[in-house]
Structure 1
């Protein structure tokens, strides 16, 4: 063989080996990844050519597949529309969101737990059907939360509501406003899908965002519950003690009027010392700022983390924004970052009433009051109750999981008493329910932006002595209304609690 032919032969051999290596890599090493990629057109077409499983609330489907006369055979429809959209997400050619994404293996029928069903379908010559996902949501609570929030913030408002069953972690309501109609995004018409997505994506109110788990804001005075828990747990005070307060206070090492902490006109906070109950009932910033500094940032952080801050905990829906209690501060000098340092007294003081760099999602604040309602036990929140076959046979039921004891039962009992008095005699009175002991706390968090209205928060649980529901309300925008956590958030929380209790 002459040299040119030998060279071409060797080159062709290397090309063949490279081709075989690439085919082996794609079909063996990356096959599972490519099959699960929602951008894979063949996978997308296959997904739409078989009946996808139901997403259910109670006995009602909030996402189902209906047969259609086009190339994809089935169309995904969402009977609940805006009410459940932030939870279900949507399924379209090339992408999935919400539960449609997180529970895709079950809904598509590819989950290993559905292997026997796939085998039976194959032997019978039937098209593979997906499994069903049954949720923990309470339809009455979900509707009450959505309607109350929508009516409160108005068409251009923004907010969220989360309700949890304290003893189990079952999520009873998860509402984000504004919402959207996922049916347009699930259309088989590319033109309809793209126009709908572009319109929603361009909306300044971000209707595609699930604020319950993806928006974190200053929690304001609702965080005083965490500060109070740390103080009682550490043995600094108990519920019957007097605590330092005052009309104004400036943390050591600070100067200037911008660093003066006041109580926004609440005269009940003005004495140098007041009862712990009065500090909570009147939501006294100076009292909780001093309490936080006395505790120190490390203890305050430990307690916040015990309630779930700085961690992830929701496993069946994402993505989830992590709630934050700052671990360190990085200063800059002449534009150069310095070594990380611990929070100083001024930063700790503002953290004590939910400002500075403390950030929380509505789900996180619902977890805080849920743990208090559950005698200190923090349960993992969950949305998926059961995984079922297409014929509704139960394959798996989610078992409640205790993450940890956030606080002791004794601390939880004292906090409960303080929060009950805040509803009975304090700022949280709009959540009061006749004949039911309600525990609650308001929050009005400054944004730190001149001229911008604050955020409104409200957290509560009921019945206080044996809670069936814990609620967090977050109001981000309410154009034309004066935002105050008690006045706006209290009635929303009350509506949700009543929907759960009055069955």
Structure 2
């Protein structure tokens, strides 16, 4: 064979080798990607051949599927509309799914390994068994109240969030983010209309797609004083210990004085820690924070859950909705030394302190428990087979951390109960139950109204916790924290009235 033919033969062999390698690459490594691609129309049709399982709470279907006459056999529907949107998320045809729809997609779609037996049975019967059913922890009464009270709040606020959890287990009783959205148009089989609905929501300046209970972090204001009070109790300061207060105090190195919300609040040079919490004494807590030091405050905040980057809420220990980390922020000078002015502001929940509503509820829940433990929050109570005869998962509550001792929890409970009975949280009262809490008014920007916060808990006559809650009303202005307290009381009262709440 002459040289030119040999060269041609070598080139042809190399090309065949590359073709063979590419085919193996596609089959071995890229097959799943191509098979599950949104651009693969056959995959979409196959996905909608099987009826998707329900998402339910309290025996009510919150997400279900109905049969259609179109190419895509089943349409996902959300009977509750906007009320449950940030919990459920949505399951669109081409867009990315969110919420429980995303976290439990495989089980709902019937493709989970747990449902392999059903799929094998279908091979012999020719049936197409539906997906599994997901049962949530939500109290329908508490969710209804949270949604209606937030939406019709007395301050006329358009943005905010409310979340309630059971301190005994960590089960989420209610979760509402405002403004909300109707997920039904996003699940439309008309992908042009679904995309248009999504784009309209995405461009809304109030960001209705954002789950503010999990993803929004705001300065918590005086609710953060519970964390500082816990640090004080662990460092030799008791409920009756006198701490410096006064109508005004200027931190070292700062010419800007810290004042109280009103001249009637702790004008005395000294007040007890109990009074400082009850009255929400800024000057007292600013000086207390500087006395304790930045490291102590930061450590105690971390023990409550600040700085945690990997918390998700869905199943216990499984993928769920990601929760933004709450932060204490910087309290330092450029040279690394503590900045007393920044520390003083941080100790009253300002400066760079940022908190999610979920974190606020977790703080209240820890205080509510007699042992001071914090339970891992979760939304999924049970996974049921398509025929509902078999349970593949039942939540088993688990401890997340222990931020405080039982004694510190007891002292904090007394102080937070005093806030509701004698201080700024009076609108959270519930007849026949012991309610504790802490209001918070947080500056948002110099030209904007303040945020209004409330964190709190309800105890039964035996002192056992039933519900812990956090409500935030963004830029609510004067009276915002009192309105947050009123809404929180209504939510906890609904949770108590739910058959599973007592």
Contact residue 375 and residue 399 of structure 2 kept, 8 A: yes
Aligned partners of 1:266, 1:37: CA distance in 2, in Å? Answer: 64
Structure 1 gap segments, 5+ residues each: 332-338
In structure 2, the partner of 1:79 is 79
Report the alpha carbon displacement of residue 315 of structure 1 after superposing the two structures with TM.
Answer: 4.0
In structure 2, the partner of 1:335 is none
Report the alpha carbon displacement of residue 31 of structure 1 after superposing the two structures with TM.
Answer: 4.2
Report the alpha carbon displacement of residue 385 of structure 1 after superposing the two structures with TM.
Answer: 0.8
In structure 2, the partner of 1:296 is 293
Aligned partners of 1:292, 1:35: CA distance in 2, in Å? Answer: 57
In structure 1, the partner of 2:264 is 267
Aligned partners of 1:328, 1:8: CA distance in 2, in Å? Answer: 72
Contact residue 378 and residue 406 of structure 1 kept, 8 A: yes
Report the alpha carbon displacement of residue 37 of structure 1 after superposing the two structures with TM.
Answer: 5.7
In structure 1, the partner of 2:367 is 372
In structure 2, the partner of 1:459 is 455
Contact residue 169 and residue 375 of structure 2 kept, 8 A: yes
* Deviation readout 1:247-284 (Å, 9 max, x if unpaired): 111111222xxx21110224231111012221111111
In structure 1, the partner of 2:132 is 131
In structure 1, the partner of 2:317 is none
In structure 2, the partner of 1:103 is 104
Secondary structure of 2:283's aligned partner: helix
Taking structure 1 as reference, are residues 154 and 391 closer, same or farther at Cα in structure 2, changes over 3 Å only? farther
Taking structure 1 as reference, are residues 245 and 128 closer, same or farther at Cα in structure 2, changes over 3 Å only? same
Contact residue 83 and residue 180 of structure 2 kept, 8 A: yes
In structure 2, the partner of 1:469 is 467
Aligned partners of 1:70, 1:154: CA distance in 2, in Å? Answer: 46
Report the alpha carbon displacement of residue 291 of structure 1 after superposing the two structures with TM.
Answer: 1.2
In structure 1, the partner of 2:117 is 116
Contact residue 219 and residue 354 of structure 1 kept, 8 A: yes
* Deviation readout 1:34-55 (Å, 9 max, x if unpaired): 5566665543332222111111
Contact residue 268 and residue 278 of structure 1 kept, 8 A: no
Report the alpha carbon displacement of residue 32 of structure 1 after superposing the two structures with TM.
Answer: 4.6
Report the TM-score when normalising by structure 2. Answer: 0.92
Aligned partners of 1:124, 1:155: CA distance in 2, in Å? Answer: 57
Taking structure 1 as reference, are residues 33 and 467 closer, same or farther at Cα in structure 2, changes over 3 Å only? farther
In structure 1, the partner of 2:222 is 221
In structure 2, the partner of 1:336 is none
Aligned partners of 1:44, 1:299: CA distance in 2, in Å? Answer: 54
In structure 2, the partner of 1:182 is 183
Q: Which piece of structure 1 moves more, 301-310 or 412-421?
A: 301-310
* Deviation readout 1:64-101 (Å, 9 max, x if unpaired): 11110111111100111100011111111222111111
Q: Note if 1:61 corresponds to 2:61.
A: yes
In structure 2, the partner of 1:417 is 414
In structure 1, the partner of 2:312 is 314
Contact residue 166 and residue 468 of structure 2 kept, 8 A: yes
Contact residue 332 and residue 339 of structure 2 kept, 8 A: no
Match of 2:399 among 391, 397, 402: 402
Aligned partners of 1:56, 1:469: CA distance in 2, in Å? Answer: 21
* Deviation readout 1:154-202 (Å, 9 max, x if unpaired): 7761110000000110000010011111110000012221221121111
Report the alpha carbon displacement of residue 128 of structure 1 after superposing the two structures with TM.
Answer: 4.4
In structure 2, the partner of 1:47 is 47
Contact residue 107 and residue 133 of structure 1 kept, 8 A: yes
Taking structure 1 as reference, are residues 86 and 218 closer, same or farther at Cα in structure 2, changes over 3 Å only? same
Runs of 4+ with >6 A deviation: 153-156
Contact residue 333 and residue 339 of structure 2 kept, 8 A: no
Secondary structure of 2:21's aligned partner: helix
- RMSD of the alignment, in Å? 2.0
Contact residue 89 and residue 99 of structure 2 kept, 8 A: yes
Taking structure 1 as reference, are residues 167 and 121 closer, same or farther at Cα in structure 2, changes over 3 Å only? same
Q: Which piece of structure 1 moves more, 423-432 or 52-61?
A: 52-61
Secondary structure of 1:268's aligned partner: coil
Taking structure 1 as reference, are residues 129 and 26 closer, same or farther at Cα in structure 2, changes over 3 Å only? farther
Contact residue 425 and residue 485 of structure 2 kept, 8 A: yes
Aligned partners of 2:22, 2:355: CA distance in 1, in Å? Answer: 47
Report the alpha carbon displacement of residue 12 of structure 1 after superposing the two structures with TM.
Answer: 3.4
Aligned partners of 1:74, 1:6: CA distance in 2, in Å? Answer: 60
Aligned partners of 1:38, 1:171: CA distance in 2, in Å? Answer: 33
Secondary structure of 1:91's aligned partner: coil
